[in-house]
Structure 1
Amino acid sequence: MTIPKVDTSTAAKAVPAVPRPGAPARVLKDDAEAIAVAEALAPGIAAGAAARDRDRIWPLAELDAFSQSGLWSINVPKAFGGPEVSYATLVRVVEIISAADSSVGQISQNHLGVVAAIRTVSDEAQKARLFAEVLAGTRYGNAFSEFGSKRAVDFETRFVDAGDHVIVKGRKFYATGALLAHKVPIVALDEEGRAWYAIADRNAPGLTVIDDWSSFGQRTTLSGTVILDDVKVPKTHLVPGYKGYETPSADGAIFQIIQVGVDNGIAKAAIEETVRFVRTRTRPWVDSGLDHAWEDPYTIQAVGALTLRLHAAEALQEKAGLAVDAAVANPTPETVAHAQIVTAEAKILSTEIAIEATNKLFELAGTRSTLAEHNLDRHWRNARVHTLHDPVRWKYAILGNYALNDVKPPLHAWS
């Protein structure tokens, strides 16, 4: 299959849906297989990552390989035929793929989050229908956020009841994965102001995806605009997402922990690039008296410090995944708050190591590492953009308020 190359010199335009793979997706058995499959996929995804970022080439073949591998159905419950792996495993998978290409890793985020939400809020018939689609290889994008609203939780997109379907009207931005999706979950409000996921076919009349994502980082997430002009969505695919936040559930922590995996993946890739460059290209400093840059004690210390901080972030990532598992199995105010708090801690460390590692790369590798031919700045650009999803300064506030005043975190998709 030919991967389209985006011409960014022309005006942004509507993009037709991509064809689905001809065969159903693989269904994995367990956690060990999920990790093994991710590790086997990663080198192929990494091979073209720099070129895709530089030329903004759509990662279609890579995304097909990723979703067809079975890794996009790993949180489908066992009762519905899925592997239902631990969230510690799921976020490790996201980290492995994100270290290869953080754009590809991020594209899976909202799909996996919506699958989790379906488990929380859908009735049994809807779960059976939607999980069967996911197990077969259906890939969700998203149409959640809106560009002009006062706050991220304020939505203007709405739907009206039309019998066996609803009609959705609105405009979305930051629509990660929508361009290359098979179905697009749309956050839309009903007449009571409650938020639902209206899961529309990517080819639905009135649903237009525009390739106008111009950020300097995460360039091939293709997170542009979705226009919804009286889009029909069958009620079988109308998911009451608001229910996930009416009472305590792990849904918010799940959306957050996946971001932790993306950022730790970026940090891991940056540290590996630093080591590779220092070992093969960097010259020793003139005053060091050394023959090789890798013998520099200051460089050795800095790489050790980065490695330690990454390992700390990964340890909290795993701890958060296990806390999410406990909250999914038994969603009480206490288990959900614990999952949110540990995930917030992991989010802080993953953000900080992603920024530090991608910045330190150039300090340790030296001036020649900034040459365009290496495109190593993509790691910093990706870290800087992805870590803006929600400010970690508010994570510190949540942690402090919980520890000092026993105030539980708010229930929403950013917490």
Structure 2
Amino acid sequence: MTAQANKIAHLPVNLPRQPAHLIKSDAEALTVAKQVASEIAKEAALRDQERRLPRKELDLFSSSGLWGITVPKEYGGAFVSNKTLAEVIAIVAEADPSVGQIPQNHLYMVEGLRLDGSDFQKKYFFELVLQGVRFGNAFSEIGTKSVNDVKTKLTPTNSGYFLNGKKFYSSGALLADWVPVVAKDEHDNTVVAFVPAGAEGLTIIDDWSSFGQRTTASGTTILENIFVPSEYVLPHHLAFDRPTTMGPIAQIIQAAVDTGIARAAFKDTLHFVRNYTRPWIDTDLEHGYEDPHTIKDIGDLQIRLHATEALLARAGEYIDEAQRNPNEDTVAEASIAVAEAKVLSTETALLAGSKLFELAGTRSTLGEYNLDRHWRNARTHTLHDPVRWKYHAVGNYSLNKVNPPRHPWI
């Protein structure tokens, strides 16, 4: 460890909240997720209507210990299976998909640290994570040629770098304790600079105006001559220079959020049809829920949802194997399994969000119910990565034995 790192490692850590609960097993993680979700769900529709950021809900979520469940066991974490991780996110996302999405980049960076963090970075940041510290993100930029075209730069200086750039889609950054920033270093390598909230030169603007996922604490991040010690820079390009689970981890969390949205839409469909929907005039039925066409469509949605959940769990198992034995074959298999789950979770969430109104009827469109949030959330969140390219990856792998590319979107 360098003298600078040693100095940093012994700085007192002022935690923004009470230390988080320490989760010790997969079973405990699932139990806690259900408890957290029951609280988060209470005002989810109202938060969406008012665009009210989930401050207390996020504090509950992170203090529960669920943000630390992928920290490796040797650093004090539970390192739960990826099947469990995906189910935890799906449970929370069913309650509120904005809250379910916010830890996506936090968990992504925990995996990045596990794969390529220095001994200092692992010890320092994993300890913070287990205590409930939250990572946001400042990854994506707009106005560039493609999503992986990064203009944000790290310029070397004494004992570190100066960071300059501008980011968009900074999900979670407004309510984060640290903001990991994707940048290019002096060698044009992709790195991640860890910037503490409140750092001089860091500005996060609450300007997220999408019609869906309204309360993900996203917005614009401006980075102006921020000093970043060398010890806070992660060589992120290494995760894609070799076969790793970096991409599949990113994607399974996205699929889990969509699965949660699909569950929520289906649940509200059942409730509305059972309690409010009238039978059609061309029948002599007493209740709308007796309509044979409605029953058929409900059955179809249930089957698709169960298939989505099964593919999500299967994808988690493939990632587990790739983490145990990372190589070209296992990582490709994991990426393809996640792509399959992502396709079905996208299509099921969108279908469930739309079918809700068809089956429930005109009354379900009234603003007092705010049921359109399910489709809005699904349509917004599923735009993170186009499923048409997932189909291509799966087909090319199956037909031509071509492994999928290595990046965070596959």
The one of 224, 235, 239 aligned to 1:244: 239
Given that 1:207 and 1:228 are in contact with CA atoms closer than 8 Å, whether structure 2 keeps it comes out as yes
Cα distance, 1:234 vs. partner? 2.0
- What are the equivalent positions in structure 2 for 1:88-127 lying under 5 Å apart? 88-127=83-122
1:256 and 2:251 aligned: yes
Per-residue CA shift, 1:300-326, capped at 9, x if unaligned? 111111011011011010010011111
Contact 1:52–1:220 under 8 Å retained in 2: yes
Output the aligned Cα RMSD. 1.0
How many Å apart are 1:281 and its aligned residue?
A: 1.2
Residue 341 of structure 1: which of 336, 360, 363 is its match?
336
* 2:138 matches 1:171: no
Instruction: For residue 46 of structure 2, give the secondary structure of its aligned residue in structure 1.
Output: helix
Shift of 1:358: 0.4
Q: Structure 2: which amino acid aligns with 1:343?
A: V
Q: How does 1:42-81 map to 2 (within 5 A)?
A: 42-81=37-76
Cα deviation digits, residues 361-389 of structure 1 (max 9, x gap): 00000000000000000000000000000
User: Aligned pair 1:397/2:389, yes or no?
Assistant: no
**2:89, 2:283 → 1: CA distance?**
40
Name which of 13, 23, 27 aligns with 1:28.
23
TM-score by length of 1: 0.94
Once the two structures are superposed, the pairs formed by residues 152-171 of structure 1 within 5 Å of their partners are 152-171=147-166
Residue 308 of structure 1 is aligned with which of 303, 306, 317? 303
AA at the equivalent of 2:258: D
Partner-residue secondary structure (3-state), 1:116: helix
Letter in 1 for 2:279: P
3-state SS of 1:354 partner: helix
Question: What's the secondary structure of 2:222's corresponding residue?
Answer: strand
CA deviation string 1:263-298 (max 9, x = no partner): 000000000000001111111111121111111111
What residue identity is the alignment partner of 1:27? L
Letter of the 1:410 partner, please give it: P
- Give the drift of 1:22: 3.1
Contact conserved, 2:156 with 2:186, CA < 8 A, in 1? no
Q: Tell me if the contact between 2:244 and 2:326 (Cα under 8 Å) persists in the aligned partners.
A: yes
Matched, 1:233 2:233: no
What's the offset of the Cα at 1:123? 2.1
Please give the per-residue CA displacement for 1:220-272, whole angstroms capped at 9, x wherever unaligned: 01321000001122222211111100010000010000001000000000000
Name the counterpart of 1:291. 286
1:314-393 to 2 correspondence within 5 Å?
314-393=309-388
Q: CA deviation at 1:21?
A: 4.5
Match of 2:179 among 176, 184, 191: 184
The 8 Å contact of residues 21 and 64 in structure 1, kept in 2 or not, is answered as: no
SS of 2:99's equivalent? Answer: helix
Q: Given that residues 139 and 181 in structure 1 are in contact (C-alpha distance below 8 angstroms), is that contact kept between their aligned partners in structure 2?
A: yes
Indicate if the aligned counterparts of 2:22 and 2:130 stay in contact, CA closer than 8 A.
Answer: yes
Alpha-carbon deviation of 1:164?
A: 2.2
Per-residue CA distance 1:68-116 (angstroms, 9 max, x = gap): 1000001000010000000100010000000000000000100001101
Q: State the secondary structure of the residue aligned to 1:24.
A: coil
- State the 1:328 CA deviation: 1.1
Q: In structure 2, what is the equivalent of residue 86 of structure 1?
A: 81
Match of 1:277, SS state, is helix
Identify the residue that residue 223 of structure 1 maps to in structure 2: 218
Is the CA contact 1:184–1:202 (under 8 Å) kept in the aligned structure 2?
Answer: yes
Provide the rounded CA distance (Å) in 2 between the counterparts of 1:270 and 1:71. 24
3-state secondary structure, aligned to 2:80: coil
Residue deviations 1:9-60 (CA, integer Å, cap 9, x gap): xxxxxxxxxx964311111010000000000111110110000000000100
On the 8 A contact 2:346/2:382 being kept in 1, the answer is yes
Q: Structure 2 stretches of 5 or more lacking a match? A: 1-13
Q: Distance in 2 between matches of 1:22 and 1:414?
A: 33
2:404 aligns to what?
A: 409
Matched residue, 1:12: none
- Given that 2:16 and 2:177 are in contact with CA atoms closer than 8 Å, whether structure 1 keeps it comes out as no
| 2:137 match | 142
Q: Following the alignment from structure 2 to structure 1, what is the Cα–Cα distance between the partners of residues 331 and 190?
A: 21
The answer as to whether partners of 1:186 and 1:199 remain within 8 angstroms in 2 is: yes
Farther off after superposition, 172-181 or 118-127: 118-127
- TM-score normalised by the chain length of structure 2: 0.96
